[in-house]
């Protein structure tokens, strides 16, 4: 009886092992077609490979052309903005000068019928004062150069020199043309006669 049970157990063990081997074989068989399919996908015919490369090449060319066009548009836009900045850089200043021009026109019209030259001169002085104030306050333009100021070659252009026994240092004897600074930068040197100590 014990022998029969042992034989049955051995038979059951063999059957299980056989069924497990069969299952493993079937899984291997299932996996094999999948790997074959993957290999088929990887391996392309030369024609397919050429077609894929041509498509990739066409895509890259298209991207390059688009970027070149974008850059060209950007360059044109920058050139236009630069030209506009150059063309209209002084628009604000010119707009502010229009008031002075209008005042000069009115003064000229008034001068036709004026009998008193002093009133015309006073009108011109008023226009000059308003113009100078606007340029100083709004744009930082400063005029310089007065007789008696110390000579500075960075700011003054000496047209001539004259010796003076009383002079202790180089000073401005006469100012022919005022100098102007825009903030700290000299935009026109004052043209002056310089008084120098006698040697």
The C-alpha atoms of residue 50 and residue 57 are separated, in whole angstroms, by 10
What residues form DSSP beta bridges with 195? Answer: 162, 171
pLDDT at 19: 58
Q: Report all structural domains of the chain as residue ranges with CATH numbers, in order of start.
A: 64-139 (no CATH), 140-199 (2.30.22.10)
In 100-188, beta strands by DSSP E:
141-144, 156-164, 171-177, 179-182, 185-188
Report CA Rg, the chain.
Answer: 49
pLDDT in 10s for each residue of the chain, 199 residues:
445 545 555 555 555 555 555 555 555 545 445 555 555 557 889 899 999 999 999 999 999 999 999 999 999 999 999 999 888 888 888 999 999 999 999 988 888 887 888 888 988 999 999 999 999 999 999 999 999 899 999 999 999 999 888 888 999 999 999 999 998 899 999 999 999 988 7
* Percentage, residues of the chain above pLDDT 70: 79
């Amino acid at each position: 009886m014990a022998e029969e049970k042992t034989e049955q157990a051995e038979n059951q063990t063999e059957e299980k092992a056989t069924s497990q081997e069969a299952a493993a074989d079937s899984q291997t068989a299932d996996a094999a077609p999948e790997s074959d399919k993957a290999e088929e996908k990887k391996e392309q015919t030369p024609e397919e490979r050429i077609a894929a490369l041509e498509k990739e090449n066409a895509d890259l060319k298209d991207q390059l052309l688009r970027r070149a066009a974008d850059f060209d548009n950007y360059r044109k836009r920058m050139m236009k903005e630069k030209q506009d900045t150059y063309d209209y850089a002084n628009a604000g200043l010119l707009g502010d000068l229009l008031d002075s021009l209008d005042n000069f026109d009115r003064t000229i019209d008034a001068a036709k019928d004026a009998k008193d030259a002093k009133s015309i001169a006073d009108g011109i002085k008023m226009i000059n004062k308003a113009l100078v104030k606007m340029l100083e306050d709004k744009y930082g333009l400063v005029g310089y150069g007065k007789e008696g100021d110390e000579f500075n070659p960075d700011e003054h252009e000496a047209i001539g020199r004259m010796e003076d026994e009383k002079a202790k240092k180089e000073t401005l004897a006469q100012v022919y043309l005022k100098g102007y600074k825009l903030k700290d930068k000299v935009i026109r040197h004052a043209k002056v006669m310089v008084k120098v100590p006698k040697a």
